[in-house]
Amino acid sequence: MNMKWPISHDVDAQSRRDPVGRMEERMIAFDWEATSLGAPSTWPSTLKSAVRVLLDCRLPMYLAWGPDFTQFYNDAYVPILGDKDNAALGNDARVTWSEIWPTIGPMWAQVLEGQGIGSERFKLTIERYGYPEDCYFSFSYSPVPDESGKPGGVLVTFAETTREVLAERRQAFQLNLADALRRLASPVEIMERAAAMLGAHVGAGRAGYGEIDPLLTTVSVERDWTDGAMESLGGESRPLDSFGPRIIDELKAGRTLRLHDIGADERSVPYAAGYASIGTRSLLVVPLMKNGAMVAIMYLHHAKPHYWSDIDVQIAEDVAQRTWDAVERARAENELVLASRRKDEFLAMLAHELRNPLAPISTAAQLLGRGGLDPTRAREASKIVARQVNHMSALLDDLLDVSRVTRGTIEVDLKPVDLRAVIDAAIEQVGVQLRAKSHRLHVDRQDEAVVVDGDFVRLVQVVANVLNNAAKYSPDGTDIAVSLARHGTRARLVVRDEGCGIDADLLPHVFDLFVQGSRTLGRTQGGLGIGLALVKTLVERHGGHIHLDSAGEHRGTVVTIELPCIDDVAVQAAPAPLEPDATSTSSALRVLLVDDNVDAARSLAFLLEEHGHDVTVVHTGREALAVAPGLHAQVVILDIGLPDIDGYDVFDRLQRDARCSAAKFIALTGYGQADDVARAMRIGFWRHMTKPASTKTLFGWLNEASELARAAVP
């Protein structure tokens, strides 16, 4: 030690075992003569002794001496000062610790009266890094006598217990939070309660959760908590880019963000106005990730600069993740309950929809079975059966489509399609419904083609479904408007009606499976509540977006479909009608009918025989393999779902037999989806028909087979 600095008056520097500490070096170099204490050589021995003790102590120790409270401290005390260390040595304690002087000043006054004071885990809000920070200390204030024996200074010995106190508080808080969240089932209530408890625990001005849209462009807050001084952000949505790209990039990478002072951090300074618009000067934000993407954030805000400690980060991250897990669990449980209720409602609707056509079918069958029925009435009864069977077939097709929706296996065959042709085909398809209710249809579209990469049949299905809903749920004689236009690279198709509209509570769920508006026992509108779910899936499979809006019940509905356009290239022509014309009568054909449903086989055989065909009926695959070679059938109507050998295998074996290879094979099956048809045609079936068989289509094909048979005769 430099012996010119006389505080080690009784110890030679060469005899000291420990090296000189940093604070001792600073004290030696400090210009003490510029202070009220003067040169160290003039200091009272009690001060020198106290300083020596302070420097030798390995625990934080601090000394304020004289009327100016001149400060001394050791190396262990430096972390307590933080940024204040640069100006604290030799300075007035009342200046260094101005923020806590109202608290410690009166206590030091007692010490200078000769009274020692101590406390455990005492809370002080200090600003060692320029921001208020709640800290806890166990300390002892002791008087140090001057030459006269009266207290000349205050010696402080203490240990910071902030980490221990906050760890205990954190554990207690987590237990209370878990207990509070356990009682809640609503996701919104879970977020609200967690935000309130965390915000109060860390002393924030505002706390809440914001959900991120799938495109990572906006953040929306449903509800949040405030301390009463800051305004709530509940119900607001804001673009993410308004907070600064560097900040959002950190959050998207899954890193917790803390800004102690938005006005001083280079990442946020250019966007300070945006933060000021929500009254925020400091923040802590925890991103919540799912499958590598940010889906939500948990935020803590202060209206003033605030220091966010590592402990704040730890507890915020823990609460954010724990709460979000609870939110997702609650949502999943609520979805299960809702799905179960919808399933029950759907089964009730399905039973109703299937019983409706069964009643007239049953009545018509009884009339036809009586015999001697007037021919006019017999024809009318037959028409009733045909209409109701077609209705049931449509219901079954809907069920098959919804199965594909739930399994995510909807397929589309994409080719250039002009949406004008799609609209024309859809209008033709729902023309009967429009005319039946005397609706006035207005179509507004541009003259130029609006071409998209699409599946013509599926797009017609989409538009027809929307038009059908408009017709079904609008009062008779009202207007329905269809508009089509291209906006940049997007095609926009809008359908407006003056119908019953949609209640605000139902609007967010209109694209969910089995969801419909209020139902009555009459069920006058019919339907299974699956159309819009299918429409949404099909639009999204085309890279598009569908939006439904309504001002409320009885105020109409607006459906907007947007699809990406492509350049005007060769456009796919509209498919030919599915059912061929059967105006002519075919020549008699030898027909083998294979179907395990005895009633279905017998009734179809009767119908074919009425038209002059020679029909052989069998009910298993093995019977078909046994009789077909000797029959020399010209047409084989083959069920696919046979009980012993499936129809595909039967077809393969018969095709390899020269006696059967010339026959025209028609697949008759209850499986009528696009991939079922594609499979049948791919392996070599001539035609594919879904049960129940359309007689118009079947007889058209038989006409064609008869013509082909005649042409083959030399």
**Beta pairing class for 206-212 and 224-226:** antiparallel
16 and 153, same domain (yes or no): yes
Measured in degrees and rounded to the nearest 5, phi and psi for residue 326 equal -65, -40
Q: Is residue 584 part of a domain?
A: no
Neighbours of 51 (CB within 10 A): 25
276 and 343, same domain (yes or no): no
pTM to 2 decimal places: 0.49
153 and 231, same domain (yes or no): no
133 and 96, same domain (yes or no): yes
Neighbours of 447 (CB within 10 A): 5
Q: What is the spatial distance between Cα 350 and Cα 387, in angstroms, rounded to a whole number? A: 18
**Per-residue pLDDT, 13:** 39
427 and 556, same domain (yes or no): yes
Give the DSSP letter string of 437-452. Answer: TT-EEEEEE-SS--EE
CA angle (234, 240, 241) in 5-degree steps: 145
**Per-residue pLDDT, 309:** 85
Structural domain boundaries enclosing 16: 6-160
Q: What is the spatial distance between Cα 689 and Cα 638, in angstroms, rounded to a whole number? A: 10
Boundary residue ending a domain (387, 407, 427): 407
Q: What is the spatial distance between Cα 157 and Cα 57, in angstroms, rounded to a whole number? A: 9
Q: Is residue 570 part of a domain?
A: no
Handedness of CA 218, 501, 540, 565 (dihedral sign): negative
Q: Is residue 190 part of a domain?
A: yes
Burial class of 290 by CB neighbour count within 10 A (0 to 12, 13 to 18, 19+): exposed
Q: What is the spatial distance between Cα 555 and Cα 537, in angstroms, rounded to a whole number? A: 26
Treating both helix axes as pointing N-terminal to C-terminal, what angle do 375-407 and 531-541 enclose, rounded to 10 degrees? Answer: 50
Burial class of 308 by CB neighbour count within 10 A (0 to 12, 13 to 18, 19+): buried
Number of domains in the chain: 5
Q: Nearest Cα to 243, choosing from 225, 212, 226, 267?
A: 267
Q: What is the spatial distance between Cα 427 and Cα 448, in angstroms, rounded to a whole number? A: 19
Task: Look up residue 330 and give its two tokens.
Answer: 């609650």
**Beta pairing class for 133-145 and 151-160:** antiparallel
**Beta pairing class for 293-302 and 206-212:** antiparallel
Rounded to a whole number of angstroms, the CA Rg of the chain reads 42
**Per-residue pLDDT, 208:** 93
Q: Residue 515 sits in a domain of what CATH number?
A: 3.30.565.10
**Per-residue pLDDT, 10:** 41
19 and 106, same domain (yes or no): yes
CA distances from 635 to 524, 604, 665 (A): 44, 14, 6
**Per-residue pLDDT, 3:** 33
558 and 475, same domain (yes or no): yes
Q: Residue 600 sits in a domain of what CATH number?
A: 3.40.50.2300
Q: Residue 317 sits in a domain of what CATH number?
A: 3.30.450.40
Burial class of 506 by CB neighbour count within 10 A (0 to 12, 13 to 18, 19+): middle
Q: Residue 372 sits in a domain of what CATH number?
A: 1.10.287.130
Measured in degrees and rounded to the nearest 5, phi and psi for residue 488 equal 65, -120
Give residue-wise pLDDT tens across range 188-234. 888 899 999 999 998 899 999 999 988 888 999 988 999 999 999 99
Residue 256 parent element (H or E): none
Place of tokens 């803590």: 300
Q: What is the mean pLDDT of each run of 10 residues along the chain (714 residues)?
A: 42 42 90 93 93 92 95 94 93 96 95 94 90 89 93 94 88 87 86 91 92 88 92 90 88 93 91 90 93 92 90 90 87 80 65 63 73 76 75 68 61 87 88 87 89 89 88 91 92 92 74 54 45 82 90 87 82 48 63 87 83 92 93 92 90 91 88 77 90 80 87 64
Q: What is the spatial distance between Cα 239 and Cα 242, in angstroms, rounded to a whole number? A: 6
Q: Is residue 573 part of a domain?
A: no
Q: Is residue 576 part of a domain?
A: no
How many residues are given for the chain?
Answer: 714
CA distances from 649 to 93, 600, 673, 683 (A): 97, 22, 20, 10
Q: What is the spatial distance between Cα 95 and Cα 74, in angstroms, rounded to a whole number? A: 19
Dihedral-angle region of residue 51 (phi above 0 means left; psi in -120 to 50 means alpha; beta otherwise): alpha
307 and 436, same domain (yes or no): no
359 and 433, same domain (yes or no): no
What are the percentages of helix, strand and coil residues in the chain, rounded to 5? 45, 20, 35
CA distances from 499 to 150, 159, 439, 440, 484 (A): 94, 74, 11, 13, 21
Q: What is the spatial distance between Cα 304 and Cα 310, in angstroms, rounded to a whole number? A: 19
Measured in degrees and rounded to the nearest 5, phi and psi for residue 533 equal -60, -40
374 and 462, same domain (yes or no): no
Q: Are 6 and 48 in contact (CB under 8 A)?
A: yes
Neighbours of 658 (CB within 10 A): 8
Q: What is the spatial distance between Cα 664 and Cα 425, in angstroms, rounded to a whole number? A: 31
Give residue-wise pLDDT tens across range 391-425. 677 667 666 666 665 556 567 788 899 999 999 98
554 and 669, same domain (yes or no): no
**Per-residue pLDDT, 532:** 79
Q: Residue 47 sits in a domain of what CATH number?
A: 3.30.450.20
Task: Look up residue 679 and give its two tokens.
Answer: 């499979």
421 and 305, same domain (yes or no): no
CA distances from 453 to 386, 413, 415, 417, 536 (A): 37, 9, 5, 6, 17
Task: Look up residue 173 and give its two tokens.
Answer: 């808080």
E runs forming strands in 355-505: 415-418, 440-445, 451-454, 479-487, 490-497
**Per-residue pLDDT, 366:** 74
**Beta pairing class for 664-669 and 635-639:** parallel
Reduced to 3 states, what is the DSSP secondary structure of residue 191?
Answer: helix
Q: What is the spatial distance between Cα 139 and Cα 136, in angstroms, rounded to a whole number? A: 10
Boundary residue ending a domain (407, 442, 460): 407
Boundary residue ending a domain (528, 547, 564): 564
Q: Is residue 536 part of a domain?
A: yes
Strand partners, 226: 206
Q: Is residue 543 part of a domain?
A: yes
Q: Is residue 578 part of a domain?
A: no
